[in-house]
Chains A and B, each alone.
Chain A
Amino acid sequence: MSNYSSFGKRLGGYILDLLISLSGSLFLIYVVFAFFENDFLMMEKGLLWVLFYVVFISFFVNVCYLSFTTYYFGGSIGKLLMGMKVCDGRGRNLSMKMSFFRYLVGYPLAKILFGFGFLWVIKDERKQGFHDKMTGSFVVNTGELGVVRFFASFLILVLMVIFFSTQSYYVFKSRSIGMQITWQIQDHVKRFELFFDQIREVIEEGKDGEGEELKDVVEYKFSDDVEKEL
C-alpha cells in the first residue's frame, strides 16, 4: 500500500500544528500585555497566569486537543490541512482511548533519544513511528494535494505569529513593560537582600554572644524608589 504519508508530509503537518500552538501562546501574551494596563502589579499577575498555564496546563491541553481532533476528525488541524488522516488498520478513526493513549504515552516515548521514534517513519515500510506502532495506527493520505494547503496555511499562520509578536512587542515597548518587569524584579531582590542581611546580623549576634546591637530595620520604600526611577 503506497498511500501511507511520507515523513516530509507528516513533518509539514507537525510544523503547522506547532505554528498553531505558537500563535495561540503569542495571542495569550498579547492579551496579557494589552489588557493589564500600566499597573505592573496586575501585569505581574497576568504573567504569573501565563507561567501557570505553561507549567501546569499546556501539556494536558495539547494532549486533549490532539486526542479530540484525531478522534472526531481523524487528525489534528495540521494533519487535516496537509491532507492526511490518522486511522486504524481498517481505515476507521481511532477510538477515544487509543487516540488519547497515542498522544499521552506514544508521543513522549517517541521523543526519546532526539525523536528517534518519529525519525523511524523515514525507514519504516508502512511509514509508522513508534507511537503508531504502539497503537496499531497509520497515517494515510486522503488523496488531496497537501502541498498547496501547506504553503497557504503556513503563510497564514506565520502572518498570525508575526502579527501577535509585533503587536505584543509594540505594547511591550510603548508601556516600557520590559523596564517595569526589571524594576519589579530588582524590587523583589532588594527586599530579600535586606531581609537576609538583617537576619545574618541577628544570627551573628547570637553566635558571638557579645550582645551587639541590632541595627534598626531600615525603612526602605521600594515603590517610591521605583517611582523615582520611572
Chain B
Amino acid sequence: MDYGEIVKKAIEAVKKHKWLVVWGLFFSVVFAGGSSNYSNVSRSFDKFGENTDWSYLEKVDFEKIWSIFWETIGSYYWEIIASTPWWVWVFIILVVLFSWGFWFLYGIFLKNYIKAGMIKLSYEAVSDREVNLEVGSKAGFKSFMKVFLASLLIGIVSILGVGAIGFVTFILAMIPFVGVIFIFVGVLVILVFVIYIMVCEMVASWSVVVGGKEVIEAVGIGLRVGFKKFFNLLVIGLINTCSGCLVLLVIGIVMLVVGLVVLGSGVGLVAVLKMFSLIFLPIGLVLMVVVIVFSSLVMAGLAAFRHNTWSLTYKELIEEDGGENE
C-alpha cells in the first residue's frame, strides 16, 4: 500500500468536493464531545475522592439530618406532591419517558445516519463520482440501522474479548514472581485488541454502506480483514490520529492567538480610553464568530479527509481480498 498516495488522493478529494466538506461539518458537529468529556469528568471525580477525608462522616448523626430535612424542606414539598392528583404524576412520568426515549432514539438515528452518509460520500468522492447531499442522505437513511447493528455487534464482541483477556490476565497474575509480567502482557494484549476492534468496526461499517453487505456478513469481513491487514489499517489509523492532533494544535494556536489579541487589546483599550471598549466588544464578537467558522470548517475538512483515507484503504484492501462492492 502506498500511504503517501492515499493521503494525497484523500486531500485532493476534500478539495474537489464541497458537499463532502458540508457533510463533514454535520459529522463533526454531531460527533463533537463524547468520550473526552467523560474522561475529564471521571478524572475530576477521582481527584475529588482522593483529596477529601470522609472519615468524620461516621460520627455524623444521620437521623438528625433526616429530621432537619423533613422539618425544613421535606414536609413542605411532600404537601405539594401529595396534593397533586395521581394521574398528573402518571402523565408526567409518561411524557418524560416518552421524550427521553424520543431523544435517545433520535440521537442513535442521527449519529448512524450521518456516519453512513459520510462513508458513502467519501467513497463516492475517492471514486470520482457525483457527491451531493441527496446521495449522502439516501445512503444514510438506507444504512443507518445496519451501521448501528454492526457497531453494536462489534461492541459486544469487544466487551466479551476484553472481559476474557482480563479474566485470563487476572488468573495468570496470581502466579507468584512472574505474575507481574503477565499483568503487563495482559494490558498490552488488551490495547492491541481494542485497536483491532476499532479497525474491524471501520471495515464492517464500510462493508455495510458501500459494499451493501448484511450486518453479520459485514462484521465477519471486518474481523477477517482487520486480522489479515492489521498493520495497514493501523498505519492509516495512526495517520488519521496524527492529522487530527495536528489540526487540533493549529486550531488551538489560532484560538490562543486571537484570544490573547482580543483580551490584550481590550484590556489596553479600556485602560487607556474607556469609551473604546464599546468599539472593542463588537470586534471581539466578530472575531469570535470568525474563529468558530474557521475551526468548524477545518474540523469538517478533517472528518472528510479521515473518511477518504479509510475509503481508499477499504477499496484497496477489499480489491486485494477479492470482494465485490455494489
Contact = CB atoms under 8 A, between A and B. Distances in A.
A202 B80 CA distance: 27
B65 A217 contact: no
Nearest to A220: B72
B72 A206 contact: no
Given A101-B141, A133-B133, A206-B56, A217 B67 contact: yes
B71 to A, nearest CB: 5
A191 B74 CA distance: 10
A202 B60 contact: yes
Interface string A196-230: 00110011011101000010010010100000000
A113 interface: yes
A227 to B, nearest CB: 16
Interface in B117-160: 132-134, 136-137, 141
B25 A209 contact: no
B95 A202 contact: no
Interface string A127-139: 0001001111000
A194 interface: yes
Interface string B46-60: 000000000011111
B113 A105 contact: yes
Nearest to A194: B72
A198 B134 contact: no
A130 B113 contact: no
A194 B133 CA distance: 58
B314 interface: no
B56 A113 contact: no
Contact of A198 (B72, B76, B106, B110): B72
A116 B29 CA distance: 13
B99 A217 contact: no
A131 to B, nearest CB: 9
Given A52-B92, A52-B95, A192 B102 contact: no
A195 B134 contact: no
Interface in A91-139: 101, 104-105, 109, 112-114, 116, 130, 133-136
Contact of A134 (B80, B84, B110, B134): B134
Contacts of A134: 133-134, 136-137
A162 interface: no
B69 A195 contact: yes
Dominant SS at the B interface? Answer: helix
B60 A203 contact: yes
Contacts of B65: 199, 202
A63 to B, nearest CB: 10
A152 interface: no
B22 interface: yes
Interface string A22-52: 0000000000000000000100010000001
Contacts, number: 82
A56 B99 contact: yes
A101 B138 CA distance: 11
B96 A56 contact: yes
A104 B106 contact: yes
A206 to B, nearest CB: 4
Nearest to B19: A133
Given A101-B141, A217-B72, A41 B293 contact: no
Contacts of A147: none
B37 to A, nearest CB: 19
Contacts of B113: 105
B137 A57 contact: no
Interface of A: 41, 45, 52, 56-57, 60, 101, 104-105, 109, 112-114, 116, 130, 133-136, 191-192, 194-195, 198-199, 202-203, 205-207, 209, 214, 217, 220, 222
Given A114-B293, A134-B133, 13 more contacts: A41-B80, A112-B25, A133-B137, A134-B136, A191-B76, A194-B72, A195-B69, A202-B65, A202-B68, A206-B59, A207-B59, A217-B67, A217-B71
Task: Give me the 5 closest cross-chain CB pairs, A-B, nearest first.
Answer: A206-B60, A206-B59, A133-B133, A134-B137, A195-B72
25 contacts: A56-B96, A101-B141, A105-B113, A109-B26, A112-B296, A113-B296, A114-B293, A116-B25, A133-B132, A134-B133, A134-B134, A135-B137, A191-B73, A192-B73, A195-B68, A195-B72, A195-B73, A198-B68, A205-B60, A206-B59, A207-B59, A214-B64, A217-B67, A217-B71, A220-B72
